[in-house]
Every structure is written in C-alpha cells, then in structure tokens.
Amino acid sequence: MVTHHTQYTICNAWLVDIPALFVKIYQSSEGLFQSEADWPRTEFFGDMKFMLGKKEYMTQIFDESGKVVPGTVISAGPLTVAGHKNGRVVVGYGERKLKNIAKPQHKLGEALGKEGVGFATIKELAVEETYNLGDKIDVSIFAEGDIVTVSAISKSKGFQGVVKRHGFSGGRRTHGQKHSEREPGAIGAGGLQRVLKGLRMAGRMGGERVTVKNLTVAKVNKGENLIFIKGAIPGRKGTLVEIKGV
C-alpha cells in the first residue's frame, strides 16, 4: 500500500514504515553517518562536469618540458540551458533548422534567440547548481590535467569478415589449404546440431557507441571553445562527442 506521504510494505504479516525504519537504522549506526550529507546516495549523470562537442582532428603539441603529446582536438560547446524538466536541467548544443527538428522540441529552441532555428542535440542533466533559462556553459568548466571519460559513435566499417572483425588468425596457408586463409572455420557444436547463440561470425562492424575512460585534458582554449584531449577518440571528423569529468 502506497500513500502520497509515506510508503509501506507488507513483510511477515507486519506493516513496516520504510522511512521510519531508515531513521532507526541511522540512529543505531553509532555515529557511522554524522549527518544526512554523509548518507550514501546515487550520483546522477549531471553531478559531474559535462560537455558536448564535435571531433575535429588529431595532432600533437609540446608540453612545458618539451615532450610531444599526441591527442585529439574537440570543438566543445557552448551548451545553452533550454529549460527544466523533472528537476533536471535541459541543455542544447548546436543549431538546426526547425523543419528538421521534432515539433515537441521547437519550444526549447527559443533559448537560442534565433527565429527558425532550434538545437541539434538535447540532453537532460541532474545537477545541483542552479541555472536559468539561456545560461551558457562553456569549456571553462574543464582545466588542464582533468581526467575525463569520452563517448562517441565509432567509425562504420560495413560488412567485415572474422579476421578483421574479431581478430581471427584464419586458416593455414600451406598443405593444400589454398582458399582458407581468411575463412572462419567450423561453426558447429558437436552433438547439439545447431549454431550456438553469440558465436563470433562475419557481420557489420563499427557504428557503435564506444566509451574511452581515463583520458587526460592536455589543453583548453577558452577563446575558441577547443579542448585538446590526450590520446585517440572514437568516431570520424564531425562526430558528436560527450565529455564527462571523473
């Protein structure tokens, strides 16, 4: 039975008040949690630094010690606060004509202040800070040395065989094996008389969301909204990239 003020559950034929039960556990914890702020809680996606951008190109720079640092340049932000929904902040990135945007998102584009133009990408973030409609979030939230997680859609490579897709070694090149150099080999399973699910075979490769963790921000150009991240990032030039601080 659930009410608007208190949740209850039936357990062993007893009616238990869940909020009151947690209070008793808290009071009997012998100081394990000194205040409500010390209670374990679920971290939402937007509690961290977050930015949207486009992959530009790879290059290399020299750090202060003269060491070469290879990396990827990302044109990031700025994000515009387009509204609030269910206690979360709705941010938009990029521009697109309204005729190419779903009608429910037309009103969000008003935050841009441009007629006939809306956001190309919309994201909802659960953040603790207070943002007003039209506020800008730029690359200044990041600094050199920050550890970030980057997600993007990888390059599509079409239909590929098992050697390229899964790293198979292929068949032998000698002893009469003239045409089996890149063949997958047998796919049977003995007495089962069927092909097992999940068997690695040829098929479409790439075009999937890939996340790379523990990358380092090597340089931030606030004037041109550019972020230089050490290392490679999935996707082609112009791919939408999500950057999340750790």
pLDDT in tens, 140-181: 899 999 999 999 999 999 999 999 999 999 888 888 888 888
In whole angstroms, give the CA distance from residue 75 to residue 57.
Answer: 10
In whole angstroms, give the CA distance from residue 34 to residue 26.
Answer: 9
- The HSE-up count of residue 165 (CA atoms within 13 Å, CB side) is 19
Same domain, 209 and 242: yes
Count of domains observed in the chain? 3
In whole angstroms, give the CA distance from residue 118 to residue 143.
Answer: 30
Q: How does pLDDT run across 30-72, given as a tens digit for each residue?
A: 443 343 333 333 334 444 589 999 999 999 999 888 899 999 9
The domain in which residue 158 lies consists of 44-77+139-172+203-246
Residue 42: predicted pLDDT: 31
**Ramachandran angles phi, psi of 18, nearest 5°:** -65, -50
- With H, G, I as helix, E, B as strand and everything else as coil, classify residue 14: strand
Q: Identify the helix (H) or strand (E) that includes residue 134.
A: none
Can you give the pTM of this predicted structure?
A: 0.70
Same domain, 223 and 130: no
- With H, G, I as helix, E, B as strand and everything else as coil, classify residue 115: coil
Pick from 150, 124, 168: nearest CA to 210: 150
Same domain, 132 and 157: no
